[in-house]
Chain A
């Protein structure tokens, strides 16, 4: 699969105070075509790391590179090729689903025909097309998650970053999302996502990193990490 580094996190450190670090010297590399799982307990530092990767959160030390561009010094270059789906998609509730997707497409400068084709494709796959004319305020958590997923895919990103993407999705939509993630990997997109569901990580990812109290305590290919054991057993051993 992987052949060139799409996301490089080098010594990333986020401090809340002098003695409290949310992330401590985190290092990992996600290559094109990887599906990279990021696992850890609640409060381990997964979301903090992800939010720094997508340029939402400032950080104190280290470097984060996306396709060779620094998140700190070239944020726009990074954001142009990255898409982010947060764990709790707080979308603009006063817009309809289609208005929100058009807003995102406008920001990325996607032309009318292309956006129509892509929105239709992913909305049909996630079975939400008929609800796109409704206000986002009327959506369930899962529906908002689906709109966030479509908005992330609309620009065909090189790096897809997802924070707990399967929470709130119905089984069919979760299956579709996994399918989409595989499809994107085949096209060379790198996928980096956090999850609590170890079974999903084990089946879906080719690489995994385990984070505990802000530090990476294990990382590598699934084979290297599990060595014949289940991911659950490895996780419980190391954390």
Chain B
């Protein structure tokens, strides 16, 4: 029985493994793409490891390297929780090969557990990068006993399991609640977004509790911080104790609790697994349509509408796409009712920044949220098996991509405009400045749309088993998202700095011109790619 589970896990792994393509595909361009993807991932892993080692060096230089294990445990746990929370729906429920797997002689619990372990294995390189890099940093400064190394590595492999189980269980509960509704995907998306919002705002609340009550203690006594955090999350404490004090009890606690929770959760999930998936797989058919007048749309709007329906039809895709927009929407409303200077102080840890200094960065702040994910980076790949439809229609690749870009603009622009207007009102920006911010915001949306499309078309991947591979892990999205996020953050800092040296409006105008030029270049690149890839 055990070997059967391993076969299932191995097959799940092989079905999406890049190495499998590399080994068996005879298509040179496909193999080239796989190698490119692997190199890209390796670069990201190296960047992550460098960041972790740099953090450890900082801790080491400050003489608090003993806190590194807790930091390592918390980083891995938070990452595992977030990654799993947004992936559970696509991996555990409502996946394509459900019928095929459930028709085989496997218990429902086994299928669910194997899917979970598959999800764990897929994310493992990220966790290992963090743990190995931090172990290196820790070893350099702490020079621990030899035994610490295997303990650290083994426990680092176990660490993600508890947060992943927690996230999977929340995902399971959300799936259970939403399965009772007719519009399951919409309900599921709303619940996921609501929980994310609660998590984001709780973070600020908890942070403010720390800062208001124990600022001195936190800043001067790192042990207090460790105890406080460990108090909230015991597995981090068990990991730290096992590593720092070579405590076998804590080692066994972490391993044991992870194993027991795994068994318990999959007994619970297994009981409703078939029912839940049946509910997601079956769709109510009313059969009561009466033919009436039909509405004609232009070609681009027809494609944009199709894209809209694609988005609302998948909770994974929808949550991933609109989470930034929703944060911006809520943030925009909130800033209308609170003192912006207080907000700036809270977010920037009591820095001397004022709303006047922040003002020129308003469009970038709004864009940071609304432009976080561009649908254009995912939609070319999301066509998947449906690609034949567009390929066989009398429509150019250019128009297909224009339609996809139009949808992203429809989605991104209203939220960006709303956010900029709210922030400008709240920061008492002048009318002229607000207009400039709006133009800059629109230029950023254009850039995000076109650049997303470049990434989406250049790294199109039509053969996927699960849309999570495109929406969460796709090369196209990663290449869009990470540089976009970091560059925006850097630009926010730069624009605030430049705004103190020269007119803020002038800085915004210069950046608008640059954004428009980049948008135009990206658009031209998309059109070039459309000409090149006829099929």
Give A residues with C-beta under 8 Å from B: 16-17, 51, 54-58, 75-76, 79-80, 82, 84, 86, 90-99, 102-112, 115-116, 119-120, 123, 129-135, 137-139
- 21 chain-A/chain-B pairs, Cβ below 8 angstroms: A57-B535, A76-B394, A76-B395, A79-B392, A90-B386, A92-B389, A93-B313, A98-B289, A99-B309, A107-B299, A107-B302, A107-B395, A112-B296, A116-B291, A120-B291, A134-B284, A134-B287, A135-B283, A137-B313, A138-B282, A139-B285
Cβ B289 vs Cβ A106 within 8 A: no
Hey, which chain B residues are within 8 Å of A55, CB to CB?
391-392, 535
Name the one of B289, B384, B386, B394 contacting A130, with C-beta atoms under 8 angstroms: B289
Cβ B26 vs Cβ A16 within 8 A: yes
A112 in contact with B385 given A56-B535, A92-B306, A135-B283 (CB within 8 Å): no
Closest CB in chain A relative to B211 CB, distance in Å: 45
Cβ A123 vs Cβ B394 within 8 A: no
Tell me the complex Cα distance, A135–B295, Å. 18
Closest CB in chain A relative to B439 CB, distance in Å: 32
Cβ A138 vs Cβ B393 within 8 A: no
A103 in contact with B310 given A134-B283, A135-B283 (CB within 8 Å): no
Cβ B386 vs Cβ A92 within 8 A: yes
Tell me the complex Cα distance, A54–B389, Å. 11
B150 within 8 A of A: no
Of chain B, the residue at the smallest CB distance from A57 is B535
Hey, which chain B residues are within 8 Å of A96, CB to CB?
289
Name the one of B287, B296, B302 contacting A131, with C-beta atoms under 8 angstroms: B287
Closest CB in chain A relative to B25 CB, distance in Å: 11
Hey, which chain B residues are within 8 Å of A99, CB to CB?
305, 309
Given A80-B394, A98-B294, A130-B288, 19 further pairs, Cβ under 8 A: A16-B26, A56-B392, A76-B394, A82-B392, A84-B388, A86-B388, A90-B384, A90-B388, A99-B309, A103-B302, A104-B393, A106-B296, A106-B299, A106-B301, A107-B299, A112-B294, A115-B294, A133-B288, A138-B283
Hey, which chain A residues are within 8 Å of B395, CB to CB?
76, 79, 107
Tell me the complex Cα distance, A92–B535, Å. 19
Closest CB in chain B relative to A182 CB, distance in Å: 24
Of chain B, the residue at the smallest CB distance from A17 is B26
Tell me the complex Cα distance, A110–B297, Å. 10
A115 in contact with B296 given A92-B389, A138-B283 (CB within 8 Å): yes
The range of chain B's interface size is 35 or more
Tell me the complex Cα distance, A115–B310, Å. 23
Of chain A, the residue at the smallest CB distance from B305 is A103
Cβ A132 vs Cβ B289 within 8 A: yes
Hey, which chain B residues are within 8 Å of A95, CB to CB?
306, 309
- A-facing residues in B378-418 (Cβ within 8 Å): 384-386, 388-389, 391-396
- A-facing residues in B237-286 (Cβ within 8 Å): 282-286
Cβ A94 vs Cβ B312 within 8 A: yes
Cβ A94 vs Cβ B313 within 8 A: yes
What are the 8 A-B residue pairs with the smallest beta carbon separation, nearest first? Answer: A94-B313, A133-B289, A138-B283, A106-B302, A79-B394, A90-B385, A80-B394, A138-B285
B226 within 8 A of A: no
Tell me the complex Cα distance, A76–B399, Å. 12
Of chain A, the residue at the smallest CB distance from B314 is A94
Tell me the complex Cα distance, A16–B25, Å. 11
Q: Which applies to chain B's interface (DSSP): helix, strand, loop or mixed?
A: loop
Cβ B284 vs Cβ A138 within 8 A: yes
Cβ A58 vs Cβ B534 within 8 A: yes
Of chain B, the residue at the smallest CB distance from A133 is B289
B293 within 8 A of A: yes
B352 within 8 A of A: no
Quick one: CB contact mask for B308-342 with A, threshold 8 Å, 1 for yes? 01101110000000000000000000000000000
Cβ B289 vs Cβ A134 within 8 A: yes
Hey, which chain A residues are within 8 Å of B309, CB to CB?
92, 94-95, 99
Of B283, B301, B389, B396, most A-chain CB atoms within 10 Å: B389
Hey, which chain A residues are within 8 Å of B389, CB to CB?
91-92
Name the one of A56, A90, A107, A133 contacting B394, with C-beta atoms under 8 angstroms: A107
B298 within 8 A of A: yes
Tell me the complex Cα distance, A90–B384, Å. 10
Hey, which chain B residues are within 8 Å of A132, CB to CB?
289, 291
Closest CB in chain B relative to A126 CB, distance in Å: 13
Hey, which chain B residues are within 8 Å of A75, CB to CB?
534
Hey, which chain B residues are within 8 Å of A56, CB to CB?
388, 391-392, 535
Tell me the complex Cα distance, A99–B283, Å. 16
Closest CB in chain B relative to A149 CB, distance in Å: 14
Tell me the complex Cα distance, A75–B296, Å. 24
Of chain A, the residue at the smallest CB distance from B390 is A107
Tell me the complex Cα distance, A92–B388, Å. 11
Closest CB in chain A relative to B384 CB, distance in Å: 8
Name the one of B284, B294, B301, B396 contacting A76, with C-beta atoms under 8 angstroms: B396
Tell me the complex Cα distance, A17–B28, Å. 10
Cβ A94 vs Cβ B291 within 8 A: no
Tell me the complex Cα distance, A110–B394, Å. 13
Closest CB in chain B relative to A162 CB, distance in Å: 12
Tell me the complex Cα distance, A103–B393, Å. 11
Closest CB in chain B relative to A69 CB, distance in Å: 11
Of B292, B298, B305, B306, most A-chain CB atoms within 10 Å: B306
Cβ A102 vs Cβ B310 within 8 A: no
A119 in contact with B291 given A84-B392, A86-B388 (CB within 8 Å): yes
Of chain A, the residue at the smallest CB distance from B317 is A94
Cβ A130 vs Cβ B287 within 8 A: yes
Cβ B391 vs Cβ A129 within 8 A: no
A116 in contact with B294 given A92-B386, A95-B309, A107-B302 (CB within 8 Å): yes
Quick one: CB contact mask for B77-88 with A, threshold 8 Å, 1 for yes? 000000000000
A112 in contact with B393 given A86-B388, A93-B313 (CB within 8 Å): no
Cβ A129 vs Cβ B26 within 8 A: no
Cβ A106 vs Cβ B386 within 8 A: no
Closest CB in chain A relative to B323 CB, distance in Å: 20
Quick one: CB contact mask for B493-535 with A, threshold 8 Å, 1 for yes? 0000000000000000000000000000000000000000011
Hey, which chain A residues are within 8 Å of B394, CB to CB?
76, 79-80, 107-108
Name the one of B296, B299, B314 contacting A111, with C-beta atoms under 8 angstroms: B296
A102 in contact with B299 given A16-B26, A92-B309 (CB within 8 Å): no
A134 in contact with B392 given A93-B313, A94-B312, A107-B302 (CB within 8 Å): no
Tell me the complex Cα distance, A96–B393, Å. 19
Cβ A134 vs Cβ B294 within 8 A: no
Hey, which chain B residues are within 8 Å of A120, CB to CB?
291
Of chain B, the residue at the smallest CB distance from A124 is B291
Closest CB in chain B relative to A12 CB, distance in Å: 15
Closest CB in chain A relative to B188 CB, distance in Å: 14
Of chain B, the residue at the smallest CB distance from A101 is B294
